[in-house]
Amino acid sequence: MRRFVIGSARNLIESSRQKYQFERSILSSPYRFLSSSPAADSPSSSSSSSSTMAHPVSLNTINPKVIECEYAVRGEIVTLAQILYCNIGNPQSLGQQPITFFREVLALCDHPAILDKSETQGLFSADSIERAWQILDQIPGRATGAYSHSQGIKGLRDTIAAGIEARDGFPADPNDIFLTDGASPAVHMMMQLLIRSEKDGILCPIPQYPLYSASIALHGGTLVPYYLDEATGWGLEVSELKKQLETSRSKGITVRALVVINPGNPTGQVLAEENQKAIVEFCKQEGLVLLADEVYQENVYVPEKKFHSFKKVSRSMGYGEKDIALVSFQSVSKGYYGECGKRGGYMEVTGFGADVREQIYKVASVNLCSNISGQILASLVMSPPKVGDESYESYSAERDGILSSLARRAKTLEDAFSKLEGVTCNKAEGAMYLFPRIDLPEKAIKAAEAAKKAPDAYYCQRLLAATGIVFVPGSGFGQVPGTWHFRCTILPQEEKIPAIVTRLTDFHKSFMDEFRG
């Protein structure tokens, strides 16, 4: 059993090896990132009836864009005591408890028949019952089992818009909100709209969350990379954006959009407001859609940093609908709630014409609607209990408990990484990850080459075999050539952190001893 688990965890690392090879080709010609057309092993296009020919659907004949895209973070999820999963941002699989109030409301909405039973009051908090009634009243016919409007239930969008307004201090329009099954389908939808061919480019941070590279590849576009500056805490320099934009334009790529992940994944930085203003200005000047991945907006761990939405920043600059096209993504999977399995999320779409909006709606409607439970939860995370509500105290205790524990875990891991020979680790200001850099001895790099692996993948694989700890090699996210990293989530339960630190420290020492020159 354990072997099986190791095997599947190994696959995770294995897949990032391919990623690495592939990335080398990217980095030598960055503007064809992921979009190179495959060798045209053209399948039987003149197929006539014959039973001896290849299957209609086989590796040779499926959509090559499907084969092109890579997705390093995931593989099979298996849990077993000996394996310490630090690879996926999936908090509840590692024991994080859901927020009670949210789950009470969801349970009641799933089974409204008990709402008016007196026994229910003994089992549920009064405000959860009240909230469930409110939500059911917002759903036409109180039917949680019905397809909703393809943008999501209007009443829930009203609640979310009010939540955004309260967060930003600027108005939000419920008609700008599209509820989706997690943030990922929303990202896909925007890529689908933007990308016409490989001539269309999307500026993406490197390192980046592989959803973006995968989605761009699947839709046949070109990823235009810009590097985050590790030396300044993974800072985002507008000069770098400009440089990459110019270079790609000179190669005939039409850059359509800029992806910014704030707080950063895998890099954990929280952008400063001034920096965000410069980014907004850049997008406005260059006519780019700003795709703001803001799913970690609740995950900020340092007092000196604060999350500012791009919408707030651009509105505070006096830029409205006419000035900038902005899409903000939010999810129920992250934050203190971590409700990954619910597949809830939304995008707030501003600065597009009505004709484009209609097209987004049309694409959304092909899939009918997102799941209702996820929709309800998205409204709950944007309007949690307030001071004075019966559940407020337990809610805020649960929330603060989770966030402060995440901050402690981040600090403990960061300190531990920094103590390792050859490892430097930036502060996790936000999100759920650390992305330390590791300077590997020459001998280790040679050994990795001999094993046909990227050096960081080799390190991670050795780590897994020796300790059961699963990290994702930096090559899965992209990095400056010649630098090596790994991504570690801060999600393992707090009592497991010391064991991770000890095992990692011991392994690292022996690894360095083995390869030190």
Which residues, 425 to 484, sit near other proteins by CB under 8 A?
none
Q: Which two tokens stand for residue 239?
A: 């000069």
95 is an interface residue for other proteins by CB under 8 A: yes
- Closer Cβ to other proteins, 377 or 382, answer by number: 377
36 is an interface residue for other proteins by CB under 8 A: no
- Closer Cβ to other proteins, 190 or 438, answer by number: 190
The CA angle 373-165-236, to the nearest 5 degrees, is 95
126 is an interface residue for other proteins by CB under 8 A: no
Q: Which of 259, 291, 305, 260 is nearest to 430 (CA)?
A: 305
Radius of gyration of the chain (CA): 24
Q: Which of 188, 140, 92, 155 is nearest to 375 (CA)?
A: 155
- Closer Cβ to other proteins, 195 or 447, answer by number: 195
- Given a contact cutoff of 8 angstroms between Cβ atoms, the answer to whether 191 and 210 are in contact is no
Mask of contacts with other proteins, 73-92, x by CB under 8 A?
Answer: -xxxx-x--------x-xxx
CB of 201 to other proteins, least distance (A): 13
CB of 192 to other proteins, least distance (A): 6
Residue numbers 196-225 binding other proteins by CB under 8 A: 196, 211, 214-215, 218-219
- Mutual orientation of helices 126-138 and 154-168 as an angle, nearest 10°? 120
- Closer Cβ to other proteins, 145 or 252, answer by number: 145
- Closer Cβ to other proteins, 39 or 57, answer by number: 57
To 10 degrees, the CA torsion angle through 460, 202, 64, 37? -100
- Closer Cβ to other proteins, 155 or 351, answer by number: 351
- Closer Cβ to other proteins, 59 or 465, answer by number: 59
CB of 95 to other proteins, least distance (A): 8
- Given a contact cutoff of 8 angstroms between Cβ atoms, the answer to whether 448 and 438 are in contact is no
CB of 505 to other proteins, least distance (A): 28
Residue numbers 359-378 binding other proteins by CB under 8 A: 359, 362-363, 365-374
Residue numbers 53-72 binding other proteins by CB under 8 A: 53, 55-59, 61-67, 69, 71
Q: How far is CA 454 from CA 12, 23, 243, 446, 457, in A?
A: 13, 10, 28, 10, 5
- Closer Cβ to other proteins, 236 or 257, answer by number: 257
Cα separation of 90 and 22, whole Å? 27
CB of 117 to other proteins, least distance (A): 6
Residue numbers 281-310 binding other proteins by CB under 8 A: 283-289
Q: Which residues pair with 470 in a beta bridge?
A: 85
Cα separation of 338 and 427, whole Å? 21
Which amino acid, 417?
Answer: F
Residue numbers 326-355 binding other proteins by CB under 8 A: 333, 338-343, 351-353, 355
In this chain, which of 7, 140, 169, 498 binds other proteins, going by CB under 8 A? 140
In this chain, which of 18, 36, 100, 424 binds other proteins, going by CB under 8 A? 100
- Closer Cβ to other proteins, 93 or 316, answer by number: 93
Cα separation of 300 and 303, whole Å? 8
Cα separation of 424 and 113, whole Å? 56
CB of 288 to other proteins, least distance (A): 6
397 is an interface residue for other proteins by CB under 8 A: no
Residue numbers 142-201 binding other proteins by CB under 8 A: 143-150, 181-182, 184-185, 188, 192-196
The CA angle 300-302-308, to the nearest 5 degrees, is 45
Question: Which stretches does DSSP call E strand in 153-240?
Answer: 177-180, 200-206, 222-227
To 10 degrees, the CA torsion angle through 353, 355, 361, 365? -170
93 is an interface residue for other proteins by CB under 8 A: yes
What residues contact residue 254 under an 8 Å CB cut-off, 6+ apart? Answer: 199, 200, 201
- Given a contact cutoff of 8 angstroms between Cβ atoms, the answer to whether 314 and 280 are in contact is yes
120 is an interface residue for other proteins by CB under 8 A: yes
279 is an interface residue for other proteins by CB under 8 A: no
